Amino acid sequence: MGIPASREEADAFFAQMQALQRRHFGDEVAEAVFGEEMRHSRLVMEAGLVAHDATLSDQERQARLMALRSQLPPALQDAIPEAAASPASSP
């Protein structure tokens, strides 16, 4: 599986990863070891989907990216850019 192109593909990817982790480590250990990283990864993936969503206005896109960015710890916030070019203007 490559980079998910849709929210459904991203959800399927994370569900598959979570199932694998829980199968090998159990629920408690998997959450302790991978839980926070998985939550951060989901936020970054969601930001990528938002950044490329042509149905959003620039203002909507910016607001959603900032909301996602604010959910990350300060040290990880640079993983989500503060501004994204509209998908129509991207090469």
So what's the pLDDT on residue 68? 96
Using the Cα atoms of residue 79, residue 13, residue 60 and residue 91 in order, give the sign of their dihedral: positive
User: In the structure, what pLDDT confidence band is assigned to residue 86 with cuts at 50, 70 and 90?
Assistant: low
Q: 90 pLDDT band (50/70/90 cuts)?
A: low
- pLDDT band with cut points at 50, 70 and 90 for residue 2: low
User: Do 79 and 44 contact (CB within 8 A), yes or no?
Assistant: yes
Per-residue pLDDT reduced to its tens digit, 18-77: 999 999 999 999 999 999 999 999 999 999 999 989 999 999 999 999 999 999 999 999
Cα–Cα distance, 25 to 28 (Å, whole number): 8
